[in-house]
Structure 1
């Protein structure tokens, strides 16, 4: 592939001549002749050096060009070998490559299906989490509003007692327990509260400092009812959560 580059023959270096000058005292030239010969020798040496330099430059340039040609030839040969290897690999591995591609395609489909299922699950989980958070915020707000209303007017506690008595209005003996802070207000409205019952009733009202400030417990011979604000809010929370899980999400599922 490559050509052998031969260095140019440097005739001046290969064929050096040794000149022996025998001088006799009687033959010595004059000083003017000596200076002339010295100048001629220096000029000849300079010319010879320039010639050698030109020959060296030509030689190295030819070497550089030859190396560049060989590099180009090797690059072309490498490309050819790579193309042959790719062609052989394609022909030999076509069937295997097709099966591999089909397998990868099926794997991608399965992965996409799993991602869709996970996204769907995360979507509804996020909806549930968001709805629960919103519900909790609403209940906290309601609790603050009720608390503020009761602090501003303790008479606002009476509807809670009234509602609890509605649930036992068929009874003839009822005891109502409230916190001492609310006892006076409830006791003053005893006759009004008795009007809830459609018949004669023995209604007793007692203070109980074990109850929360706006707590209320109604007892009858058949059981008791806790009617405090906290209990009512907790019941409301449970009812709303139950409605949220049973109703809202079934509607979402039907719409999806």
Structure 2
């Protein structure tokens, strides 16, 4: 997963004010391969978006050329009808031919407009569907990577906890709540976690079975911070979505 992920504001359980975590940085060098897989997934998504954009531009160029050809045909047909009416010498016939040609032209323009609108709607629908599919694939890959890493080594959870504590390092009393399955791992590193603070701190670590397996809740006198893995994945989803849109033209990004 990305080595920089923003976490959202989470409502306090006890009515206390909520503090926003700005950044989480997972410093474990073993995550290098995971970050590489994430970047490859993002690159593939951008390439797919670029290909879809190229196809759209090619399609619209084809439609434009067809419109030019049809307009040229209409111009020749109009001249023919006008010449035919003049040759006959009947004003009524000339007017009728002109009106008929104008009516046919208006009908053709309306048909072309409907065709372009339908093609436009179908294209954007396909583009949005493809982008969502790529996003879900990348996110599922990240979930598998994170899950496999934590299952094989629960200490990989500690950098996340350390980063959250770094955000509240100016506090003198901090409580950390984790799932019971992670409690022993986190509590066993209490002194290491306390080293994040530049001063003496009362650091309490509690098990909380209401949290998800890799959930983490940090509480200070000023509020609570939800910094679990689920929140990290949600931030990853938002980051991937933004990067996908960066691979599109402004028009396509605005339509999705």
On whether the aligned pair clears a TM of 0.5, the verdict is yes
1:18-29 equivalences in 2 (<5 Å) = none
2:234 is aligned with 1:198:
no
Whole-angstrom CA distance in 2 between matches of 1:199 and 1:127:
53
Look up the SS of the partner of 1:106 in the other structure.
helix
2:135 is aligned with 1:135:
yes
Whole-angstrom CA distance in 2 between matches of 1:182 and 1:250:
45
Tell me by how many angstroms 1:155 deviates: 1.1
Please tell me the root mean square deviation across aligned C-alpha atoms, in Å.
2.8
Q: Which residue of 2 aligns with 1:98?
A: 98
Look up the SS of the partner of 2:168 in the other structure.
coil
Tell me by how many angstroms 1:226 deviates: 1.0
Whole-angstrom CA distance in 1 between matches of 2:177 and 2:222:
16
Tell me by how many angstroms 1:190 deviates: 1.0
Q: Which residue of 2 aligns with 1:66?
A: none
Whole-angstrom CA distance in 1 between matches of 2:235 and 2:137:
16
1:43-82 equivalences in 2 (<5 Å) = none
1:155-166 equivalences in 2 (<5 Å) = 155-166=155-166
Tell me by how many angstroms 1:246 deviates: 7.6
Q: Describe the superposition over 1:128-160 as per-residue Cα deviations: whole angstroms up to 9, x where unpaired.
A: 221122111111110111111111111111122
The alignment of Structure 1 onto Structure 2 pairs a total of residues equal to: 166
Q: Which residue of 2 aligns with 1:226?
A: 226
Whole-angstrom CA distance in 1 between matches of 2:156 and 2:114:
55
Relative contact order (alpha carbons < 8 A, sep ≥ 6): 1 or 2 greater?
A: 2
Tell me by how many angstroms 1:114 deviates: 3.5
Q: Which runs of 5+ in 2 are unaligned?
A: 1-87
2:174 is aligned with 1:174:
yes
Q: Which residue of 1 aligns with 2:213?
A: 213
Tell me by how many angstroms 1:215 deviates: 1.0
Whole-angstrom CA distance in 2 between matches of 1:230 and 1:206:
19
Q: Contact conserved, 2:173 with 2:202, CA < 8 A, in 1?
A: yes
Look up the SS of the partner of 1:198 in the other structure.
coil
Larger Rg: 1 or 2? Answer: 1
Look up the SS of the partner of 2:169 in the other structure.
coil
Q: Cα gap change, 1:115/1:217 in structure 2, threshold over 3 Å: closer, same or farther?
A: same
Q: Which residue of 1 aligns with 2:187?
A: 187
Q: Contact conserved, 2:150 with 2:157, CA < 8 A, in 1?
A: yes
Whole-angstrom CA distance in 1 between matches of 2:246 and 2:235:
16
Whole-angstrom CA distance in 2 between matches of 1:166 and 1:247:
34
Q: Contact conserved, 2:245 with 2:253, CA < 8 A, in 1?
A: no
Q: Cα gap change, 1:118/1:169 in structure 2, threshold over 3 Å: closer, same or farther?
A: farther
Q: Cα gap change, 1:96/1:253 in structure 2, threshold over 3 Å: closer, same or farther?
A: farther
Whole-angstrom CA distance in 2 between matches of 1:233 and 1:116:
39
Whole-angstrom CA distance in 1 between matches of 2:251 and 2:116:
20
Q: Which residue of 2 aligns with 1:45?
A: none
Whole-angstrom CA distance in 1 between matches of 2:253 and 2:232:
31
Q: Cα gap change, 1:182/1:123 in structure 2, threshold over 3 Å: closer, same or farther?
A: same
Whole-angstrom CA distance in 2 between matches of 1:147 and 1:253:
32
